[in-house]
Structure 1
Amino acid sequence: MDTVAVLGREYRPRVIDSALQRALAASGAVVIEGARASGKTMTALHAAASYVFIDDAGVQRLLEVAPRSLLEGEAPRLLDEWQVAPDLWNLVRRAVDSAVEPGRFILTGSSVPPDDVTRHTGAGRFLRLRQRTMSWWEKLDAPTGAVSISGLFDGDLPKTDLDAAPDLDTVIDNLLRPGFPAMTALSPTQASDRLRGYIDDVARTDIHRIADIRHEPEVVKQLIAALARSVASEVTYTTLAADIRTVAPAIDEETVSNYVGLLQRLFIVEAQRPWTPALRSRARVRTSPKLHLVDPALAAAALGAGPQQLRGDLNTLGTLFESAVVHDLTVFASRIDGEVSHYRDSNNKEIDAIITLPDGRWGAVEVKLGGQQFTVGATSLQAVIAQVDIAAIGEPAFRLVATGTGPILVTDDGTVTAPLTALAP
């Protein structure tokens, strides 16, 4: 469908597009979930043949008297923000059951409704896709990325390019450019203002749409800032609660856990699960997830970290950069049905990102902000992989050191190193 005619904006291709087409060919309905303003409506509308916006006032009146009429239209039909009217779920399920052809509906939602015993699970009828904010490859309009993640799984190694290394200022600028489609062209100051407004909206409005919480918005904003300080780390609810007690002295870990759960339902927080392979050593695999905010630029805004602050605080910059790499790897992996986890054991050996595919193939990724650190990253990867039971899970399809300011090259032992600006689906 022509997004210019409907919404007045030209569609920018997204990594999720091919996954959406596959899902529509395989199921009766596809649910696209993700944070508000991540581009779900545009992506779904681009693929749809007809549409209805459920949060429109006129549509709300139809819901009261003729809800089934909202399902009438050429397939695939978009039901945008379906969670505003959760009863639509069962209506869509029945419509899918009565149809022969797949790809009847696309549902989009920016929050997950609470489970309801009257709402069928949709198993066998619905496929779910997660729409994240734009990767660097998408927001920087770099369709010819030199290092393809899917290509690495197929054994395709990149050509050496020593000139591919960006400088630190470019890395910072790219990091602070939001992945929310409507914000990518904003100046750093405008983007920071918009992102702080986004956080304020989450704390004042969005979270109250899905739960009745007793704390003031400032507490939720402080929680988001605490999560931003801890992105890409195995943070505990005890640590988060301690950070929040500056504005809520009596808050406990259980309440903080509940609030983090609400932010996950709004897709503002995403957990990077642990990878738990069989080991040849006696080390114990740690099982705590890492938490990331939906977009690294949002994390920077929550911390009040602009270009000058990040240039002077390389530790914070490095943490945010790792979160950016994990974010983009997750976007790329979703295109090939992959998942991104992390590894850490009782000896404090770790791998920043493990990409696993349904067929059992896996790749290991270490993140280093400085390009000169790629040899350290390569050595670290080799040390951890050496203690994994390769006989049980197989050799990694690739080893990659993703850097901020490094070149593109392949070492003699086969390890690939590339800057994030060069990574592509």
Structure 2
Amino acid sequence: MDTVAVLGRAYRSRVIDMALLRALSAAGAVVVEGARASGKTMTTLHAANSYTFIDDADVQRTLEIAPRSVLEGDAPRLLDEWQVNPELWNLVRRAVDATAEPGRFILTGSAIPADDITRHTGAGRFIRLRQRTMTWSEKLDGAACQVSIARLFEGERPATDMKASIELDEVIENILRPGFPAMTALGLEQSADRLRAYIDDVARTDIRRLADVRHEPDVIKQLIAALARSIASEVTNRTLAADVRAVAPTIDVETISGYIKLLQRLFIVEPQQPWAPKLRSRARLRVSPKLHLVDASLAAAALGAGPGQLRSDLETLGMLFESAVIHDLMVFASAIGGEVRHYRDSNGKEIDAIVTLTDGRWGAVEVKLGGAQMLAGIKSLRDVIDQIDTDAVGEPTFRLVVTGTGPVLIADDGTVIAPLSALAP
């Protein structure tokens, strides 16, 4: 559909577009989920031939009188924010069951309703897609993006480009520029204000739509800040609880765990699950997920970190940069049906990201903020891969060191080095 006619804005292509079209050709209904303001409505409206906004007051009144009427329209029909009226799930399921035609409906949702609504009624009928915030390649409109994750899996390697390197200040600016589409054109101070307002809305309103939260919004905001301080790490709920006790002295670990689950249902928090290959050594694998916020810029806003603070605090900058890399890899991997996990063992050896495909292929990715650290990244990958039983899981299809400020290079051992600004789907 013409997004200008409906929403007054021209559509900017997203990485998820092709995955959405594939899903519509394979299933009767596609569910596109993601955090509020991540661009779901624009993306799905662009792919739809008719639509209705379920959170519109007139539509709500129609649902009370003639609920099936909202399903009427040219396919694919978009039902935006379907979770506002969860009974729609079964109506869509029955409509899909009534015909073998694929691509009947697109449902979008910015929160996961209670599991019992969808657990047993969508198998074979619905495909779920996750829409995350914009990647660097999307924010930069693909400029200079020459290292394709999909092509790395096909064995292609990029040409050397010593001019691909960017300055540290540009890395900081790209981290602080939000991936929420409506905020990308704002200045850094304006976007920081919007991001803090976004966090406030999550704490005051969004999370309370899912559950009866007994603590004040400041407690949720403190938890989001605590998650930001430990972003891209295997932080424990006990550690988070200790941080949150600054504003809620009696809060316990179980409550923290419950709040994190609610933030996950809002897609504000995303876990990066561990990878568990067979090892040649006697090391034990760590099985805790790493936790990321929906966008590195949101984490920076939660910490009150602007360009000056990040320039003088490279440790925090490095954590935010790693989270930005993982975010983009998750978007690129999802486009080819893959996942992004992490590896860490009891000897302290780790790989920041393992990109896995359904056919068993995998790639190993190390993240280094500075281009000068690329040799350390190459060695780190080599040391860890040497102890993985590649007879069982196969050799990695590629090894990649993602930097903030480095060039595009191929090391003598075949490892690809590239800045995040050069990565593409």
Deviation at 1:142, TM superposition (A): 1.3
* Equivalent residue letter for 2:53: F
Shift of 1:131: 0.2
Q: Are the aligned partners of 1:90 and 1:120 in contact in 2 as well (CA < 8 Å)?
A: no
Per-residue CA deviation, residues 75-131 of structure 1 (Å, 9 max, x unaligned), is: 000000000000000000000000121000000000000123697431000000000
1:337–1:358 CA contact under 8 A, matched in 2: yes
What residue number does 2:171 align with?
171
CA RMSD, aligned part only? Answer: 0.9
SS of match in other structure, 1:206: helix
- Aligned partner of 2:256 in structure 1 is 256
Deviation per residue, 1:135-168 (Å, 9 max, x gap): 0000111166110000100111111111110000
Give the secondary structure class of the aligned counterpart of 2:199.
helix
Aligned pairs for 1:19-418 (under 5 A) are 19-116=19-116, 120-142=120-142, 145-418=145-418
Task: Give distance in 2, aligned partners of 1:164 and 1:35.
Answer: 32
Q: How many residues in Structure 1 have an aligned counterpart in Structure 2?
A: 425
For residues 205 and 78 of structure 2, the distance between their equivalents in structure 1, rounded to whole angstroms, comes to 25
Contact 1:29 1:96 in 2 (8 A): yes
Equivalent residue number for residue 16 of structure 2: 16
Q: Is 1:37–1:182's contact at 8 Å kept on the other side of the alignment? A: yes
- Structure 1 distance, partners of 2:23, 2:353, is 26
**Counterpart Cα distance in 2 of 1:100 and 1:406:** 51
Using the alignment, how far apart are the partners of 1:45 and 1:117 within structure 2?
Answer: 25
The residue type equivalent to 1:206 in the other structure is D
**In 2, are the aligned partners of 1:51 and 1:79 still within 8 Å (CA)?**
yes
| Counterpart residue type for residue 213 of structure 2 | I
Alpha-carbon separation, structure 2, partners of 1:88 and 1:407: 50
Runs of 4+ in 1 over 6 A off after TM superposition: none
- CA–CA distance in structure 2, aligned partners of residues 29 and 145 of structure 1: 33
Asked whether the 8 Å contact 1:87–1:119 carries over to 2, the reply is: no
Equivalent residue letter for 1:367 = V
User: Whole-Å Cα distance in 1 between the matches of residues 400 and 284 of structure 2?
Assistant: 24
Aligned counterparts of 1:262 and 1:39: Cα–Cα separation in 2:
21
Shift, 1:41, TM fit: 0.4
TM-score (norm 1): 0.99
For residues 255 and 331 of structure 1, the distance between their equivalents in structure 2, rounded to whole angstroms, comes to 30
Q: CA deviation at 1:11?
A: 0.5
* Stretches of structure 1 lacking an aligned partner (at least 5 in a row): none
CA contact (8 A) 1:89 1:119 kept: no
Give the Cα separation in 2 of the matches to 1:117 and 1:12.
Answer: 33
SS at match of 1:6: helix
Distance in structure 1 (CA, Å) of the matches to 2:118 and 2:380: 51
Identity of aligned residues (%): 75
Length-normalised TM-score, structure 2:
0.99
Distance 2:139 2:9 in 1: 16
Contact kept in structure 1, 2:283 and 2:345, CA below 8 Å: yes
8 Å CA contact 2:274–2:288 kept in 1: the answer is: yes
Counterpart CA distance in 2 for 1:18 and 1:144 is 21
Q: Give, in whole Å, the separation in 2 of the partners of 1:240 and 1:385.
A: 32
| Closer, same or farther: CA 117–412 of 1 in aligned 2, 3 Å | closer
| Secondary structure of the corresponding residue to residue 386 of structure 1 | helix
Mapped partners of 2:86, 2:343: distance in 1: 38
Structure 2 unaligned runs (5+)? none
